[in-house]
Chains A and B, each alone.
Chain A
Amino acid sequence: ETPSDKDPGSAPSENLPDPDAIVIEGDKIQVYLDRKLKSIGNASLTQDQQEVYGDTIEYDVQNEELHVIGNVRLETKGGRIKGPELRLNPAEGTGEMKQPTFELDNQLGSLPQFGISGNQRQDNDNLMYNTNATPLTQQNIEDSGYSPGLSRRQGASRGDASGVVFEGPDRKRLKDARYTTCEVGSDDWYIRAKELELDDYSRTGTARNARVEFQGVPILWTPWVNFSFMNQRKSGFLAPTWGTTSRSGFEFLMPFYWNIAPDMDATIGTRFLSKRGMQYQGEFRYLNEDYQGTANIEYLPSDTSSGENRYYAKFAHLHNFHNGWTAAYNLEKVSDEKYFSEMSTRIVTTSRVNLPQQAYVNYADENWTFNALVQKFQTLDGVNYPLQRLPQLTLTGDNDWGPFDVKLFTQWANFERNNDAIRTQSTLSGGTLDTLVTGKRLVAYPSISLPMSRPYGYITPKLGVHYTQYQVDNGDFTVSDSNGNITSQGIYQSQSRSLPIFSLDSGLYFERDTRVVNNRYTQTLEPRLYYVYIPYRDQSLIPVFDSSSSDLNMNSLFLENQFTGQDRINNANQLTLAVTSRLISKKTGEQRLAMTIGQRYYFADEKVYLPGVNPRSGDTSDIVGEISARLLNHWNLDIFGQYNTDRNVYVRNNINARYNPEPGKTLNIGYRYTEDRLEQINISGQWPLGKGWYGLGRWNYSLRENIPIEGVAGLEYDAGCWQARTVMQRVATATADANYALYFQLELGGLASIGQNPLKLLNRAIPGYTSSSLIPDSYQ
């Protein structure tokens, strides 16, 4: 019965060691059969993924106990723990170690920083809500103020403790632990916790009775906070933020993040405002692949300054039925008109005049789109009351029919007025239009075009009939000029209007190879000719619901109708000529430079115009020129000019240059001029000052009003494992005095950010700004 006599000579082939076999190595091993095994001299024991190293390892075979003495190192999934002595049962993963120091391969990440830091996150909710509202993309739900493209630096992190108890293969509990992301040798900051639990399996850490010490000074205490390794969402207190503003005084916000479910979370915060009292804030978010949305509520009971209850509420939801149908609503309301300017410092918020309250149902497929919209606004400035569309139904079609392209635009809309809307509206010429006209409008605009295109050019004749029918209520109106005397008076009539529209678009493409410095480019020369004929119809008694004049630019030069909307269709017998030249890199296909110049020639006088606007004089439009360059030497140039040939004067003139050689270095210089409306210089930039310091600045000065519009000055310091930034902002506001805001923020290695988060301000104020926590060290 002796085991089969294999060739005794060769060692038994350990083909694939049993994964949970224990392998012990060392300089010398003493074996007490079936009792104990002792390895002496840089001993090591490995089982499955766990590895233990030490001077001597005693392994008690009976109860599978491990006792390691002398610079012990325990390698685990997430990192390693070192200490003088370790007792461990490798099978159960239980045991304990004295005076451990630990290193984690990645950082305990803080939760994505929500915008609940004193004011809502308004970046992508523009106040001009377009009809098929841009869906709440994933991007703007997780907007955390970091510039796109650069992900957070994931460095290692370390710490020590008085003792660690292993409670299972993935769970460790450290007593009197210290944790930091700073390299060994620099203890600039650490989190000290009575107890720190690390869980490799759920990749989370929980600290009890924890306080943050920065340069030895305790700056934050929290009874309970937890983190996630890989930025997963975990309920817990977020780092508090504080700051001061001239309007609301000192403010302190303590948010709590509640991870309700994988697709649902909420942030509840209490915000103390020294001049106003305690404000409660809540943001609830949900996202799954069928629908997504947010609900924001802010409530300040009995504001000490004004005594009333003040609130702000926003509910947004987008539903995707995946069969072409989508639906959404977006409702916002504030308790009083001063709410934003008094409760917030961010321009994106304080500049809001009309809060959208709208809902839409949308359908789109290859050839048809349908949109049903109900939209009205809460107006905050008591002056500009947009018309309400209750509802507007739009159906558009775009089908190929043989070589022809048949398009159809049909719309029915019922325009009503906000019942506390005032009679007078300003006209484009600075005068006023007094009317309370409302009405229903039906539009049908079928058109057929024959696109004939070859690689070297194209010709596209297009013919359409624009039919509109109005049903007008209380249509009397009075137009007066800027010094108040009446220029025209009457009653808008229910009527219909139909106009044939003919256009001929044609263009040629010429190319040649050129070489600039030592790069090979294709240079194009693209002349374009665009003729439009629309007969004249008297439209002076047609009410204006959604028509206005659009900016003259390369886009609007090639439009049939110079007026946006449907209420004014210009009479036209005009020819537009433009020439574009592009430099396209042969290697990457990128467009390095594009130059365009264009002008329109009128063969008929302008007979259709907006209320209070005097007709065009002269038979040519302004000359429009654009240059946009994305040069290889990191310079971006955008120049736009609109020159009036009759008066020999620039109507609009914008020059913008940006130099952005690498993340952390950006410089923007801009001059913007619009006749009688705007003349501003703005200079902004971020530049390293050496040794981890960065200077930040923006200066926006209005030459027309001779006052600084916005000034931002800041300093940022990157010490590798922590970043601090302080930003001062002065911005002109509607009320007399400017609003000053001071931001101070301390970012501790992606774990906690303390203080008011100025990143959103910096991203807007300094185009190309990159937070120093994202700049790879190589650029420092």
Chain B
Amino acid sequence: CGFKMRGVADLKFNTLYIQGPSISISKQLRRTFTSNGVKIVNSADQAELLLEIMSESQEQRILSLSGKGLVREYELFYTINFRTRDPSSDTWNDVQTVQGRRDITYNDSQLLAKQLEQERLYDSMKEDAVRELVRRLMVLKPAKNKPRAADLRAPGDTEE
């Protein structure tokens, strides 16, 4: 039915510089990029793409209440805002958002256990956020003026 094993990701950039304060997913982010064949450099001018993580936030909202006004379910959000820039241009692309959402049942008698479960769900959202962020960067088109090995390789490739 047309499915084939995923091949090597068609890289639009080989070196990346991650700007901004280190946040909880910074290590995972570096690991995932490296395993996808992107080299993390530590200065902007060696990088073919700049990534800035603007903000990271965890939020918890009441999702459902019992008849007695006690919390039955929480909704957890994990959100990062980021933007990218091609070193050749000095304007940043628009800010993009990646948001994960989970819900968790809650019972006042299991507070400590639910605390640990909530942390685990935040960690799982962070892993998904890293994967989604890497996917978002993989589709970035190369800067017009700079030829990419990929472009030269398949001249017939139609530009989307």
Contacts and interface: CB of A to CB of B under 8 A. Distances in A.
- A–B touching in complex (CB under 8 Å): yes
A778 interface: no
B154 interface: no
A196 B111 CA distance: 54
A449 B67 CA distance: 47
B136 to A, nearest CB: 4
B119 interface: yes
Interface in A392-428: 425-426
Contacts of A585: 139
A559 B124 CA distance: 11
A565 B62 contact: no
Interface residues of B, number: 60
A555 B102 contact: yes
B112 A351 contact: no
A674 B105 contact: yes
A109 B68 CA distance: 41
A764 B60 CA distance: 11
Contacts of A106: none
A256 interface: no
B49 to A, nearest CB: 13
Interface string A722-742: 000000000111100000000
B70 A353 contact: yes
Interface in A308-364: 347-348, 350-351, 353-354
Nearest to A585: B139
B139 A587 contact: yes
A525 B4 CA distance: 9
Interface string A476-513: 00000000000000000000000000000000111110
Contacts of B68: 732-734
A112 to B, nearest CB: 18
A384 B110 CA distance: 8
A551 interface: yes
Nearest to A736: B68
A559 B35 CA distance: 24
A589 B55 CA distance: 20
A707 interface: yes
Interface stretch (B40-48, B71-79, B145-153): B71-79
Contacts of A564: 113-114, 116-117, 120
B16 interface: no
B69 interface: yes
B24 to A, nearest CB: 9
B88 interface: no
B6 interface: yes
B103 interface: yes
B50 interface: no
Interface string A505-529: 0001111100000001000110000
B64 A678 contact: yes
Nearest to A554: B124
Interface stretch (A29-37, A74-82, A127-135, A199-207): A127-135
Given A353-B70, A732-B67, A732-B68, A555 B121 contact: yes
A715 B74 CA distance: 27
A48 interface: no
Nearest to A706: B67
Contacts of A139: 55, 57
B53 to A, nearest CB: 13
Contacts of B5: 456-457, 508-511
B59 interface: yes
Contacts of B35: 453
A548 B106 CA distance: 11
Contacts of A347: 62, 65, 69
Contacts of B8: 455
B90 interface: no
- For chain B, what secondary structure do more than half of its interface residues adopt (helix, strand, loop), or is it mixed? mixed
A702 to B, nearest CB: 6
A455 B9 contact: yes
Given A130-B115, A347-B62, A590-B136, A733 B69 contact: yes
Contacts of B66: 678, 702, 705, 709
A589 B137 contact: yes
A139 B57 CA distance: 8
A471 interface: no
A734 B113 contact: no
A131 B119 contact: yes
Nearest to B132: A591
Contacts of A124: 59-60
Interface string A84-117: 0000000000000000000000000000000000
A672 B73 contact: yes
A351 B114 contact: no
Contacts of A550: 113, 117, 120
A749 interface: no
B65 A510 contact: no
A764 B65 CA distance: 13
A286 B3 CA distance: 56
A511 B136 contact: no
Contacts of B3: 510-512, 525
Contact of A510 (B4, B74, B140): B4
B57 A707 contact: no
Contacts of B136: 588-590
Q: Which of A124, A377, A508: most chain B CB closer than 10 A? A: A124
Nearest to B106: A128
B160 interface: yes
A678 B72 contact: yes
Given A584-B135, A586-B139, A591-B132, A456 B67 contact: no
Interface string B1-15: 111111111000000
A485 B16 CA distance: 65
A348 B160 contact: no
A144 interface: no
Nearest to A366: B27
Q: Which of A350, A386, A638: most chain B CB closer than 10 A? A: A386
B111 A565 contact: no
A576 to B, nearest CB: 15
Nearest to B109: A384
A705 B108 CA distance: 19
A672 B64 contact: yes
Interface in A551-569: 551, 553, 555, 559, 564-565
Contact of A547 (B57, B113, B137): B113
B117 A551 contact: yes
Nearest to A705: B67
A564 B121 CA distance: 12
B124 to A, nearest CB: 4
A116 to B, nearest CB: 21
A707 B68 CA distance: 10
B6 A509 contact: yes
Given A589-B137, A591-B132, A702 B71 contact: no
Interface in A423-473: 425-426, 453, 455-457
Nearest to A764: B61
19 contacts: A126-B74, A131-B115, A139-B57, A386-B111, A455-B7, A456-B7, A511-B6, A520-B160, A546-B116, A555-B121, A565-B116, A587-B139, A589-B135, A638-B101, A674-B72, A680-B64, A705-B66, A732-B67, A764-B62
Given A351-B65, A510-B3, 18 more contacts: A130-B119, A347-B62, A348-B62, A351-B69, A381-B108, A508-B5, A510-B4, A520-B160, A546-B112, A548-B117, A550-B120, A564-B113, A589-B137, A640-B103, A674-B72, A678-B73, A700-B64, A731-B69
